Structure 1
Amino acid sequence: MRFDVITLFPDLFTPHLQLGVTRRAYESRQVDLRLWPLRDFAEDAYRRVDDRPYGGGPGMVMLAEPLERALAAVRADRAEAPTAPLVHFTPTGRRIDQALVREMAAGAGAVLLCGRYEGVDQRFLDRHVDLELSLGDFVLSGGELPALALLDAIARLQPGVLNDAQSHEQDSFSADGLLDCPHYSRPEVLDTPEGAMPVPVVLLSGHHAQIARWRRERSLELTARRRPELIAAARAAGRLSKADEQYLAGLLL
């Protein structure tokens, strides 16, 4: 798949492409990422891509014309898929979730527009944007961080990127849509100022069925306490077993 990113700050993406396990997806071109610096499409000597808003008010607005030229260049370069959807990152967009990530990870890619300043000229958005996305109910200084978050989530789902192919299948929000269970590693007993903290005994038992049930119950408990709406969604979708329901009924929330 191919992602084209229109951005004022392409250097923000460089470490992401070179570090961490997801770099494998970019090195192999499973995720083909191409950066388009917006100032390259400004036509004046100052490489201006923003101006004051009509009607007054604080902040600056990203100009439509440099964006039009940048998008035209991207479309021309994407001869194999010139109609790839244009994604705009904004607090008013749909919140990114794992279902969306899985959908996009199985697709052919997209063009990612990283806005800055007070916003983007609405005429450009009205003409071209197919999907608006948000990280959550807060405001960032630009679209680069949401774009990086989306790319990271998509890259780790590509075959061969994670060492264990089952890793992402056990993540929070995957499979049955619940939160993941707690995890432990060495030492078996951790000495702390508050006292010894041992690994739960069941994880040392070697009894795979008991371990699986313990992990399931911890997942159910954590989800019920922190994200009860996910329990409701799993129940509505028929993803909770009779044993799950019995365990949930006994929880003191």
Structure 2
Amino acid sequence: MLIQPFETTINLESNLINPTQFDLLKIMQKGLQDSSTYHADVIGYGAKELDPLNVFWAVARLRVRIIIPLKNHHKYRILTWPNPYDIAGIDRNYQVFDENNECVIEGMGKWVIVDKTKFALIKPKEFILTKDQVNTCVDKVFIDGYLRFNKMVEILQAKVQRVVKSAEIDQNNHVNNVVYLDYIANAVEVAMNQTIQITEYQINYSESLFLNEHFTMEVTEDNNTLYITSYRDNDHKFVFQSIIKKI
């Protein structure tokens, strides 16, 4: 099958009286994730095809740039397309347009195939459903790829501890990708002690989190950029990292 870009829409609706930027971004991130799922169904490697093989798609990395702030109770159009697979997975691109057809969000996510029984990655070139896909969508939203984590920043702004709740678990029995924005918002709020506006964020997912697990987030800052490193408390394995660019 020749893969073409895919388009869908989302009505951005928060029931909160005064939703924060993170609240709206969480809804939009779910919209991006859903658009990927819908497109995967169309091109032949959706849940119907993956479930019998005991595998699923997961986001290993997601970068999102906010061009124009999102507005509650507005309708947006999402355009998404995958690039040809690389050794680890498939980069999927996103552009979000408002009702005036202005681009308000750009994003790119690294999607990987995960074996449910081993929680191990499967290379796309070796996977029966993706190895023969023909993809001519080579354009990337971010020519420079993904943001790099600054390991030299040593000034700790905050340390936040959390426990995974049952409401945060998805159908694959681990914390849903979108929930990490709640964790990040919590860490940023503690570190900054005020509401901030962000222009870009990236999440690097390293390890899955499961029900009742305890984890810690450490927040550092350098030149209007926040770096969040999270690790599981019992074994100190990295769970995720995030880069937040703020105004």
Higher share in strand: 2
- Name the TM-score class by shorter chain: under 0.3
Higher share in helix: 1
* TM-score (ref. length: structure 1): 0.26
* TM-score (ref. length: structure 2): 0.26
